[in-house]
């Protein structure tokens, strides 16, 4: 570590040179000028990506000026090319949109393309002031008796990052191919994609350990350290991780399923390492539920075998209406609602005789449990209009008032209208 720090501090002497400071100032002025033109639109007809030709012209002018007066210009040209290449990624963005969805393109750029470009740019600048080979062999210390150099550590971190970020698209493509070949459901495809990602991440970590030169004894020591750590603070994390893997293999909770949580239908969006991401439709909220919750608490699912769900609305009708006519009208009304499934057919039932009304229940089937609240609202509105058109009364509670007299046997109901 000391050798590496000495190498890094040696770069400060290079940055203190007047010619280097001048070149850095010129590039900074160019960047600020380009940002001002793009934000304030000083050239109205110029598109947002059109600033690159102007920046390129200014950059060439600065390089030629430095060369004409006999000053060094290599750093200016190098920084300028890196800067223009960053804007050039916008052109790649347009090309990627022809093949991939916008959300996937944004994820690919923010997690893979732009970080790799910045890393390559940093290595290019470092190679201009120092030797990458000398930095790579700089010792950092020992890990379980194995010497770790800066180059080995950098390669290990790079592989881990690429595995964590880049395993998503290949796993999704392989799961999609298996779905096409076998004909599995969408939830099974998402579960298989997640398991493939876990497998790739596990193999990547093993490859990193082998690259660092860790032997079996060292790996056993790491496992022993983790087992001790489980008892001191990461027991819940490990439990949630194992629970997530078990849920995937069991198939009881998979992405795309609809679960009832606190009386609200929620769709499983993502089954992560620690928690499950659920989406609640009524307020567009995303809920993070620890994976072990599904092992310690009961959960109701409406999509274990299919997404059909039976729903129900309750309504009351006055006693002077024929129950058979009310039942027939309720069933006919439900069949007219667009999002109510015709098969199985809606079914109306007489539930009980209430204090002021006969209580009926209208049961029907819907295709998507996440639409239950909206469909029940449509059915209730249709019932209101149907009862109004057929002169069927929906009664409400009424009270009878008595005058307070003594003795109580002389109470009489008030017949006077107020």
- What's the pLDDT score for residue 47? 45
Domain extent listing, the chain: 1-136, 235-301, 309-389
Closest by CA position to 257, among listed 289, 211, 209: 289
**Mean pLDDT in residue range 396-405:** 67
Asked if the domains 235-301 and 309-389 are classified in one and the same CATH topology, the answer is: no
168/204 Cα distance (integer angstroms):
13
Q: Which of 11-15, 60-64, 149-153, 349-353 reaches the highest mean pLDDT?
A: 349-353
Q: What is the pLDDT of residues 196-236, one digit of tens each?
A: 887 888 787 777 777 777 665 666 666 666 666 555 556 67
**Mean pLDDT in residue range 338-363:** 92
- What's the pLDDT score for residue 194? 75
- Mean pLDDT of all residues belonging to the chain: 76
Provide the pLDDT confidence category of residue 11 given band limits of 50, 70 and 90.
low
- Note if the bond before 410 is cis, omega within 30 degrees: no
Closest by CA position to 86, among listed 60, 116, 61: 116
Global pTM?
A: 0.52
- What's the pLDDT score for residue 43? 47
Which one is predicted more confidently, 68 or 377? 377
CATH number of 309-389: 3.30.70.100
Tell me how long the chain is.
418
Task: Give the three-state DSSP class for 278.
Answer: strand
80/121 Cα distance (integer angstroms):
11
In the predicted model, is pLDDT for residue 335 greater than 90? Answer: yes
Topology given in CATH for the domain delimited by 235-301: SH3 type barrels. (2.30.30)
- Buried (b) or exposed (e) across 203-234, using 16+ Cβ within 10 A? ebeeebbeebebeeebeeeeeeeeeeeeeeee
Across 3-12, 85-94, 205-214, 308-317, least confident range: 3-12
Across 51-60, 240-249, 268-277, 321-330, least confident range: 51-60
- What's the pLDDT score for residue 44? 47
């Amino acid at each position: 570590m000391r050798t590496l720090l000495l190498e890094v501090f040696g770069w400060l002497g290079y940055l203190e040179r007047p010619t280097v400071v001048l070149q850095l100032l010129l590039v900074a002025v160019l960047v600020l000028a380009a940002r001002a033109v793009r934000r304030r639109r000083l050239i109205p007809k110029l598109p947002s990506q059109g600033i690159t030709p102007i920046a390129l012209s200014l950059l060439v002018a600065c390089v030629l000026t430095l060369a004409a007066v006999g000053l060094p210009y290599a750093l200016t040209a190098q920084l300028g090319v890196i800067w223009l290449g960053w804007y050039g990624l916008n052109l790649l963005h347009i090309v990627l949109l022809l093949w991939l969805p916008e959300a996937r393109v944004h994820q690919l750029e923010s997690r893979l393309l732009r970080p790799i470009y910045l890393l390559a740019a940093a290595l290019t600048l470092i190679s201009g002031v120092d030797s990458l080979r000398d930095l790579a062999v700089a010792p950092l210390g020992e890990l379980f008796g194995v010497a770790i150099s800066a180059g080995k550590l950098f390669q290990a971190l790079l592989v881990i990052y690429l595995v964590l970020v880049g395993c998503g698209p290949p796993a999704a493509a392989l799961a999609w191919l298996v779905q096409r070949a076998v004909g599995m459901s969408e939830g099974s495809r998402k579960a298989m994609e997640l398991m493939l990602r876990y497998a790739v991440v596990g193999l990547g970590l093993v490859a990193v350990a082998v690259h660092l030169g860790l032997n079996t004894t060292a790996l056993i020591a790491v496992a022993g350290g983790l087992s001790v750590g489980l008892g001191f603070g990461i027991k819940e994390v490990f439990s949630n991780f194992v629970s997530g893997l078990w849920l995937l293999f069991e198939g009881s909770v998979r992405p795309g399923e609809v679960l009832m949580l606190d009386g609200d239908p929620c769709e499983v969006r993502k089954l992560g390492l620690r928690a499950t991401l659920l989406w609640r439709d009524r307020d567009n909220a995303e809920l993070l539920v620890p994976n072990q919750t599904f092992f310690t608490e009961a959960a109701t699912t409406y999509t274990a075998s299919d997404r059909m769900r039976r729903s129900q609305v309750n309504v009351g009708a006055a006693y002077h209406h024929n129950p058979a006519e009310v039942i027939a009208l309720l069933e006919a009304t439900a069949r007219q609602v667009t999002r109510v499934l015709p098969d199985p057919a809606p079914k109306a039932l007489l539930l009980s005789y209430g204090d002021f009304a006969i209580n009926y229940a209208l049961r029907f089937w819907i295709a998507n449990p996440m639409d239950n609240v909206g469909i029940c609202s449509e059915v209730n509105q249709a019932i209101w209009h149907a009862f109004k058109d057929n002169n069927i009364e929906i009664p409400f509670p009424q009270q009878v008032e008595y005058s307070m007299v003594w003795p109580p046997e002389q109470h009489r109901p008030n017949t006077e209208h107020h």
